[in-house]
Amino acid sequence: MQPFVLPEFYLSYPARLNPHLESARKHSKAWAYTMDMIDVPQHGTVIWNEHDLDSHDYALLCSYTHPDAAPRELDLVTAWYVWVFYFDDHFLELFKRTGDIDRARAYLDRIARFMPAEGEITETPENPVERGLTDLWNRTVPHRSAGWRRRFRTSTRNLLDESLWELANITENRIANPIEYVAMRRKVGGAPWSANLIEHSLNAEVPDVIAAKRPMEVLRDCFADAVHLRNDLFSYQREVEDEGELSNSVLVFEKFLGCTTQEAADALNDLLTSRLHQFEHTALAEVPALFDEHGVHPAGRAETFAYVKGLQDWQSGGHEWHLRSSRYMNKGTLDARGGPELPGGPSGLGTSAARIFRSVATTAPQRARAFSHQPYEQVGPVALPTLPLPFPLRLSPHLAAERKKIAEWPRRIGILSEQVWDAARLRASNVPLAAAGICPDAPPEQLSLTTDWLTWGTYADDYYPAVFRHDLPAARLATEHLKLFMPTNGESPPPPLTALETGLADLWQRTTGPMKPAERETFRGTVETMINAWVWELANQAQNRIPDPIDYGEMRRQAFGSDLVTSLCRIVNSRAVPAEIQRNRVIESLEDSAADYAWLVNDLFSYRKEIEYEGELHNAVLVVRSFLDVEQDRALRIVADLAKARLTEFRHTVDVGLPSLFADYGLDPKTRAALTGYADLLKNFMTGIAHWHRECDRYKDAELDRLGVRAGPAHLKPNDAENPLAAAPQHPGCTGTPPIPLGTEPRRFQPGPTGLGTQSLNIPAPTR
């Protein structure tokens, strides 16, 4: 009996079948026999027999997912999929069922030797997985560009290596939280690897100049998430009930939301739909602008669009294969929907088009909710769920001294002269308290630097929506101009025109003066990531579009300044931590879980301020309300539960992940101490942020009401002599709209305080 009824899937693109299916079937079977994948025991266990291979029908999968591939390329791609599914089952039988992590790690280490970045494979293969990889690597990689080879090697390594994460969860009987699961599933699930093969099969490589830009990464990630979530729905019965697998998103949702399996499956399908909506939005709205921004030549544009179309083909074709393969739970699904087209069968508007229309109509309410929010909705007063401090609080002994000079730096660089902030608003933010909790051990000068970064980030977060809410082109121009104040090789920046530019120029000099050019380049990248995310928020605001939940979480982490925090912490520890450790999964888990805890706490405390007083859309509570279509109290509890889950993951990583990392890499005491100290810095970051939100006045009703009723006639125009904003400074590229502080519109329609409470720079000062 099936554990749930498969939901109505969103399919906006018809599946097509490659006419060379039969030849791919013959080739893939012959190839599998040659590699000893059929009926050859591995450590006493037969992984596949011929019936297994035939019933799984990977040639059908590849013929649906690569409908335009030439015969030779279809044969090669099919062999790759035979290999990757064989690896999955081989790893299951030998290691997941036995829980032998040590042998699994050695097994994966050997496989990595058959994927050289340059040159030939020198290792001798000893099992079908190694033999298959050797053959396929030699037939594929030499024909591609250096950029493609680099991406493909990374995605293949991730696909293999992160199997250990799944195995560790089984061994510990641990179910991941939703945010952790989506991020890790991208690596272990293999969809980024599939995206690379789409480029190869179509001979259509994405130009290197845009391959790592946000729109292309969003397309890849949306594609990956949709592929994996769909697979989890179809494979739940086999993985969870038969194999004892814990890495399945239906199970993750079921346990996290405390709901039935059917409810979890339906919610998961809604998330799948949201990711496909995001894919379409990015392809239509962002990719063309990306071409223009980077001057991509016509051939590169054509290859990129072919790649995007290939991703669509894979989504639709992969769904058709899941409906047919004996590997999955799909009984009766073809009969219920009339079945897909097959060679010689019915086709046209009477079949696929009708199903697409039904699919679009069924999911239309979900799409509409994302664009139908009424700004300045009255949501308060709000009773927040209880969130205790994550770790013991430590405050800098220099806090009192820092509070006494709270207005000195803002006044010197002009922050209090631009009609966006006043002294009372600055005091209500109590930025020194945040700095004192984040950096309790910093000497006075470094605590001051931290406070000034936090003040700049708070002000920037208020300034962007106040000045640019109705002028997105100006926001983009101003952001590019702002980047000129972060030179990496001694360049002279232009004279600053605003307090924002003056402040960044000052902070950049004070922070990066001791750095080497390469370190400055890396640090600059983290600041750019953050300010680019502010523009992304303005773009959503212009469309009145509530973001997709996954895209929101990933961009919120950037807009909040979390990458900048971890970057500065890395600078402090870089001399003791080897490069290969810095981007290890364990370190990423520490950084991402800490960052997510901080912004989730922020979204809870700033919910009323942002939604009711500022007309904002970028708040996790609103995103959850819209996505799950639940009441406000339920959304608040879910966001609080997410924060708790990320904190639990952080603690698990410290208690279990770090000791395993120490043992796996044989790290010396100095490096171990550096990593343990880094975890302590992140503990201070989370605790300092949580304490600041509880104690500062920025989010309290009294402060919101004070700002909401501040005098300011709504009828004044920017150039009216009586308007206090008439003399406000203009940012480069502005079309004439000055900053709009609270009080210039009716109460429910006024931007209120944001700053550290929305997308701030919560940055601990470097301790050199």
- CA pair distance 520, 229, nearest whole angstrom: 39
Does 749 fall in a domain? Answer: no
Does 168 fall in a domain? Answer: yes
Domain boundary pick from 695, 710, 725: 710
Do 357 and 430 share a domain, yes or no? no
Do 573 and 503 share a domain, yes or no? yes
- CA pair distance 222, 182, nearest whole angstrom: 11
**606 phi and psi, to 5 degrees?**
-95, 5
Do 435 and 536 share a domain, yes or no? yes
CATH number of 328's domain: 1.10.600.10
pLDDT in tens, 55-88: 989 999 999 999 999 999 999 999 999 999 999 8
Of all helices (H) and strands (E), which one includes residue 432? helix 431-438
Q: Which two tokens stand for residue 703?
A: 């402060």
- CA pair distance 665, 655, nearest whole angstrom: 17
- The residue ranges of the chain whose pLDDT is under 50 are 338-351, 709-729, 732-733, 735-768
Does 760 fall in a domain? Answer: no
- Beta partners for residue 41, in sequence order: 46
Does 449 fall in a domain? Answer: yes
- Beta partners for residue 38, in sequence order: 48
**How many domains does the structure of the chain reveal?**
2
Q: Which two tokens stand for residue 195?
A: 């995206």
Q: Are 548 and 278 in contact (CB under 8 A)?
A: yes
Q: Which two tokens stand for residue 685?
A: 């970051």
Q: Are 207 and 296 in contact (CB under 8 A)?
A: yes
Do 224 and 126 share a domain, yes or no? yes
- The Cβ of residue 663 has, within 10 Å, a number of other Cβ atoms equal to 9
Does 746 fall in a domain? Answer: no
- CA pair distance 404, 154, nearest whole angstrom: 51
- CA pair distance 615, 605, nearest whole angstrom: 16
**42 phi and psi, to 5 degrees?**
-115, 110
Does the predicted model carry a pTM greater than 0.75?
Answer: yes
**38 phi and psi, to 5 degrees?**
-110, 125
Do 494 and 621 share a domain, yes or no? yes
- The Cβ of residue 742 has, within 10 Å, a number of other Cβ atoms equal to 23
- Beta partners for residue 42, in sequence order: 45
Do 146 and 256 share a domain, yes or no? yes
Do 404 and 279 share a domain, yes or no? no
Domain that holds residue 158: 20-335+353-369
Q: Are 458 and 756 in contact (CB under 8 A)?
A: yes
Q: Which pLDDT belongs to residue 570?
A: 60
The span from the first CA to the last CA of the chain, in angstroms, equals 62
Residue 490: left (phi > 0), alpha (psi -120 to 50), or beta? left
Do 446 and 521 share a domain, yes or no? yes
- CA pair distance 242, 370, nearest whole angstrom: 38
Does 586 fall in a domain? Answer: yes
Q: Which pLDDT belongs to residue 311?
A: 96
Q: Which two tokens stand for residue 708?
A: 């909401």
Q: Which pLDDT belongs to residue 728?
A: 39
Q: Which pLDDT belongs to residue 481?
A: 96
**645 phi and psi, to 5 degrees?**
-65, -40
Does 4 fall in a domain? Answer: no
- CA pair distance 195, 104, nearest whole angstrom: 26
Domain boundary pick from 660, 684, 710: 710
Q: How far is CA 580 from the centre of its chain?
A: 22
Q: How many helices (H) and strands (E) does the chain have?
A: 37, 2
Do 414 and 357 share a domain, yes or no? no
Q: At which residue do the structure tokens 């900048």 appear? A: 564
Do 410 and 319 share a domain, yes or no? no
Domain boundary pick from 660, 680, 710: 710
Closest CA to 763 of 688, 698, 710, 690: 688
Q: Are 536 and 559 in contact (CB under 8 A)?
A: yes
Q: Which two tokens stand for residue 727?
A: 């003399």
- CA pair distance 282, 304, nearest whole angstrom: 13
- Beta partners for residue 48, in sequence order: 38
Residue 285 makes CB contacts below 8 A (sequence gap 6+) with none
CA atoms lying within 13 Å on the CB side of residue 523: 27
Q: At which residue do the structure tokens 């790690």 appear? A: 105
Do 273 and 406 share a domain, yes or no? no
- CA pair distance 52, 37, nearest whole angstrom: 11
The 3 state secondary structure assigned to 21-33 is: HHHHHHHHHHHHH
Q: At which residue do the structure tokens 């729905």 appear? A: 233
Q: Which pLDDT belongs to residue 43?
A: 85
Q: What is the DSSP string of 630-697?
A: --HHHHHHHHHHHHHHHHHHHHHIIIIIHHHHHHHHT--HHHHHHHHHHHHHHHHHHHHHHHHHHH-S
At 41, is the secondary structure helix, strand, or coil?
Answer: strand
Do 408 and 310 share a domain, yes or no? no
Q: Are 484 and 494 in contact (CB under 8 A)?
A: yes
Does 720 fall in a domain? Answer: no
Q: Which pLDDT belongs to residue 434?
A: 94
